[in-house]
Structure 1
Amino acid sequence: MSVKLPRIAVLLAAYNGMHWIEEQLASILAQTGVDLTVYISVDTSADGTQVWCEQYASDHASVIVLPPAGTFGGAARNFFRLVRDVELERFDFVAFADQDDIWHPDKLMRATSIIRNRHIDAYSSNVTAFWSNGSTHLLNKAQPQVEWDFLFEAAGPGCTYVMSKKVIEALKSSMRTNWQQLQSVSLHDWYCYAFARSHGFSWFIDPEPSMEYRQHERNQVGANKGLSSLISRYKTIHDGWWFSQVQLIAQLVGREADPFVRGWVGLRRAQLLRLSFSAWRCRRRRRDKVFFFCICWATALIGTKVR
């Protein structure tokens, strides 16, 4: 008797990806124990990515390239377009993919097995960052989830996300309703995690890395590692981007009226100071809890260019 394999739609957002996309697609198509279809949306590119992907799709029946839809200006809008435009009803799961990583052969089989065996709704995992000089670093995002982490951080890199049918159906419906506001969200992985958790869906963050996470100068968001990353994160907070995204995501996922959120969402000085004492409820990793506490105080005392 044949075993029914989980049907998975892999949504891949591409942009000027000719250096890496062939290797990435090969690792996706080499997945074991699943029945997958890859959908590619190409942001307007100058290196021939669209034409190359269309030719690749003509040679691979399980790869479909969406027609050009203009310039997105960032991966988030491209992923939102994929979720909105791809017919996902026949799939059991939906996974996100970047154009430049290398997936382990059992990535999707492990993710879907964990979702089914643990009776959860969505999955993400740790990754192994790697650089062209051969160095590697485990990016550990699998600390225990806390009450409000989803409003302040993602569940790890979006390219590890695998979501069940009921999560993606609810997400897609909400995205269509809030499409214009959604265009201002900069990070699709943060938003999708916030949506799932805020709507009562369970999420598992796997400590086992599921892929090699390529680091290069064109990464929109790369490995959060070292002092330079910490300084970069502080700059995004000081210029108002991070807190503006927190406010927007809280609104889009319907948590603005929650008493906890109402207590700080205006980002006034006293509110930020009060929020600092909830750091342990807002970030997963101990280092990030301390950083969160300090940032709340620094923003309250120095100010920020909240947009």
Structure 2
Amino acid sequence: MMRPKCLVLLAAFNGTQWIEEQLSSILAQEGVDVTVLISVDKSVDGTELLVDQYCVQDDRVHCLPHDLRFGGAAKNFFRLIKDAPIEDFDYFALSDQDDIWLPRKLTDAVAKLTSFEAQAYSSDVIAFWPDGRKKLVKKSQKQVEYDYLFEAAGPGCTYVFTPYLFSLLKKHITDVYTQLDCISLHDWYIYAYTRSNGYKWIIDSRANMYYRQHSNNQVGVNTGLRAFRKRLSSVFDGWYLRQAACIANLIGIQNNSFVNSWIDLDRRGVLNLAFNGNDCRRRRRDKFVFAIICLVLTVKGNK
């Protein structure tokens, strides 16, 4: 049996501290043939030089041209998707620069995609900290009708796609590339595009990677009072719902009857979201919090 050929798209920025360990875990994947394509957001710690050395040492590692500044992981991943080759690969995966993949991460993802006849895959992860702490981060709650409009399917570094879906995603990203500056989270956007177009997405309860937590994480795991307050402030200043509206517009579902009922983010629309919280988030606690937040925003009247 032919081993599946997987293209891993790795977004890097000031990553010299961790990227070698990450690349080693990717290149050691079992049961698949791996190629890595790296895009580096202009760095100051020698990341470009380090990945260039990898490209010389290992013909499975390739880099896109350097010296571009993206200002965040989302635009860097969108660039990778736009510029990635699609010929000769059976599956496509996303990778951060600082995690550790367990040996069967890609093999198990391919098996799930095949057995469930799905187009996209993500999974739970094991978060770990410099002090040795570890925690299972569960994202595999049952999907609901509109969760994709208000959350991602989990960390983007767990995402794996079939070539059919990736080719559609690549065309879409290319078509709207100049409009994507309003998107802060690529994993949320990709999940929304996929689900809104009716493609099947599997969220696996098996965690096949260690998700590194450190002070430079752009998002990371929402643990601790400080992290909770930071995320809550982004909700109450309107960023969260504005992001949902921007995503809905760019993926072309602004005229969907449910979306149309709230996309203007006026009081009536946000109140409607409060009463539909059960269909907007996967985790039971998040459903309740979502509804309460929408009620508070309705009272505040902030658009």
Normalised by the length of structure 2, the TM-score is: 0.98
Which letter does structure 2 place at the counterpart of 1:213?
Y
Matches within 5 A, 1:175-194: 175-194=173-192
Matches within 5 A, 1:32-111: 32-111=30-109
2:9 corresponds in structure 1 to 11
Q: What percentage of aligned pairs have identical amino acids?
A: 49
Aligned length: 303
What secondary structure does 1:178 align onto? Answer: helix
What CA deviation, in whole Å up to 9, does each residue of 1:46-102 have, x standing for no partner? Answer: 000001100111001100011115100000000000011121222111100000000
Name the CA distance, whole Å, in 2 between partners of 1:194 and 1:266.
18
What secondary structure does 2:170 align onto? Answer: helix
Name the CA distance, whole Å, in 1 between partners of 2:67 and 2:237.
31
Which letter does structure 2 place at the counterpart of 1:232?
K
Q: 2:286 aligns with which of 285, 288, 291?
A: 288
Aligned-pair CA distance for 1:36: 1.2
Name the CA distance, whole Å, in 2 between partners of 1:303 and 1:44.
40
Which letter does structure 1 place at the counterpart of 2:236?
H
Name the CA distance, whole Å, in 1 between partners of 2:296 and 2:173.
34
Gaps of 5+ in 1: none
Name the CA distance, whole Å, in 2 between partners of 1:69 and 1:122.
31
Q: Which deviates the most, 175-184 or 101-110? A: 175-184
1:147 corresponds in structure 2 to 145
Aligned-pair CA distance for 1:209: 0.5
Cα gap change, 1:126 to 1:204, in 2 (>3 Å): same
Name the CA distance, whole Å, in 2 between partners of 1:262 and 1:278.
14
1:210 corresponds in structure 2 to 208
Matching of residue 157 in structure 1 with residue 155 in structure 2:
yes
1:232 corresponds in structure 2 to 230
What secondary structure does 1:31 align onto? Answer: coil
Name the CA distance, whole Å, in 2 between partners of 1:216 and 1:153.
22
Aligned-pair CA distance for 1:201: 0.6
Which letter does structure 1 place at the counterpart of 2:297?
T
Name the CA distance, whole Å, in 1 between partners of 2:33 and 2:181.
31
Q: 1:27 aligns with which of 16, 25, 28?
A: 25
Gaps of 5+ in 2: none
Name the CA distance, whole Å, in 1 between partners of 2:66 and 2:225.
39
Q: Is the 8 A contact 1:123 1:206 kept in 2?
A: yes
2:131 corresponds in structure 1 to 133
Name the CA distance, whole Å, in 1 between partners of 2:129 and 2:267.
41
2:251 corresponds in structure 1 to 253
Normalised by the length of structure 1, the TM-score is: 0.97
Which letter does structure 1 place at the counterpart of 2:277?
A
Name the CA distance, whole Å, in 2 between partners of 1:230 and 1:167.
34
Which letter does structure 1 place at the counterpart of 2:202?
F
1:263 corresponds in structure 2 to 261
Q: Segments of 4+ in structure 1 off by > 6 A?
A: none
1:115 corresponds in structure 2 to 113
Aligned-pair CA distance for 1:270: 1.7
Name the CA distance, whole Å, in 1 between partners of 2:145 and 2:243.
19
Name the CA distance, whole Å, in 2 between partners of 1:136 and 1:302.
38
Name the CA distance, whole Å, in 2 between partners of 1:50 and 1:158.
22
Q: Is the 8 A contact 1:238 1:303 kept in 2?
A: no
Q: Which deviates the most, 8-17 or 245-254? A: 245-254
